[in-house]
């Protein structure tokens, strides 16, 4: 075994693991709040509250994804053991690019929707565009369509992790589990 192989991490850093799972929980909460609002009539305090929480979570996801990208840029990705075929690695890169794209695009589109709709932006953030109801509808439609696609992307991501764990029997999933990061360092 070479010195480089000994020094290479076997799991993601604790920061990356907690950002991954924290963002995953926030995305689940964002999806839940927007789905649960449908159980309440338009204009009711509960429905409006769920929408406000959805907006706040979205902005939080955006902030954490930016932090995650910065942290990820400074760290080495732990190698998968045993190494997967090149085509799987290529698909994994595509999947991660799509996930990062969704995690950036959806909150920004939500922010644009609120801005163009003349609605308050969470955390006192400024409007990104001038008020324009037509543009607000357009941003909202794109946000909604991408949100629908995100359900499938998340499902594929989870299915791939389970495939690697149970079928390929490699350490893809273990590299992102909090307890694994403590025991393998």
H helix or E strand, kind and range, residue 183: helix 178-183
Residue 8 is predicted with a pLDDT of 77
What token pair was written down for 54? 């959805």
Residue 184 is predicted with a pLDDT of 45
Q: Is the pLDDT of residue 172 over 70?
A: yes
Measure Cα distances from 156 to 49, 61, 69 in Å: 31, 20, 21
What is the domain partition of the chain in residue ranges? 3-183
Instruction: Work out the pLDDT band at 179, boundaries 50, 70, 90.
Output: confident
The pLDDT tens digits of the residues spanning 80-116 come to: 999 999 999 999 999 999 999 999 999 999 999 999 9
Least Cα distance to 128 among 117, 113, 112 occurs for: 112
How many CA atoms, within 13 angstroms, populate the side-chain half-sphere of residue 137?
2
What token pair was written down for 79? 């190698």
The pLDDT tens digits of the residues spanning 2-33 come to: 444 556 788 999 999 999 999 999 999 999 99
The pLDDT tens digits of the residues spanning 104-163 come to: 999 999 999 999 999 999 999 999 999 999 999 999 999 999 999 999 999 999 999 999
CB-count exposure of residue 129 (10 Å: 0-12, 13-18, 19+): middle
Neighbours of 114 (CB within 10 A): 24
Least Cα distance to 77 among 15, 128, 135, 10 occurs for: 10
What token pair was written down for 95? 């999947």
The pLDDT tens digits of the residues spanning 44-74 come to: 999 999 999 999 999 999 999 999 999 999 9
């Amino acid at each position: 075994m070479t010195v480089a192989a000994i020094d290479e991490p076997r799991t993601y850093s604790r920061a990356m693991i907690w950002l991954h799972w924290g963002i995953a929980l926030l995305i689940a909460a964002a999806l839940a709040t927007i789905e649960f609002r449908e159980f309440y009539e338009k204009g009711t305090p509960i429905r409006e509250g769920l929408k406000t929480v959805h907006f706040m979570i979205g902005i939080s996801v955006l902030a954490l994804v930016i932090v995650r990208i910065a942290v990820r840029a400074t760290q080495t990705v732990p190698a998968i053991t045993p190494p997967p075929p090149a085509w799987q690695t290529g698909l994994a890169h595509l999947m991660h690019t799509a996930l990062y794209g969704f995690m950036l695009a959806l909150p920004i589109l939500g922010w644009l929707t609120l801005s163009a709709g003349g609605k308050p932006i969470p955390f006192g953030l400024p409007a990104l565009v001038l008020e324009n109801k037509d543009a607000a509808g357009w941003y909202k439609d794109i946000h909604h369509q991408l949100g629908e696609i995100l359900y499938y992307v998340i499902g594929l991501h989870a299915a791939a992790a389970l495939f690697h764990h149970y079928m390929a029997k490699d350490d893809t999933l273990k590299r992102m589990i909090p307890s694994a990061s403590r025991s393998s360092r």
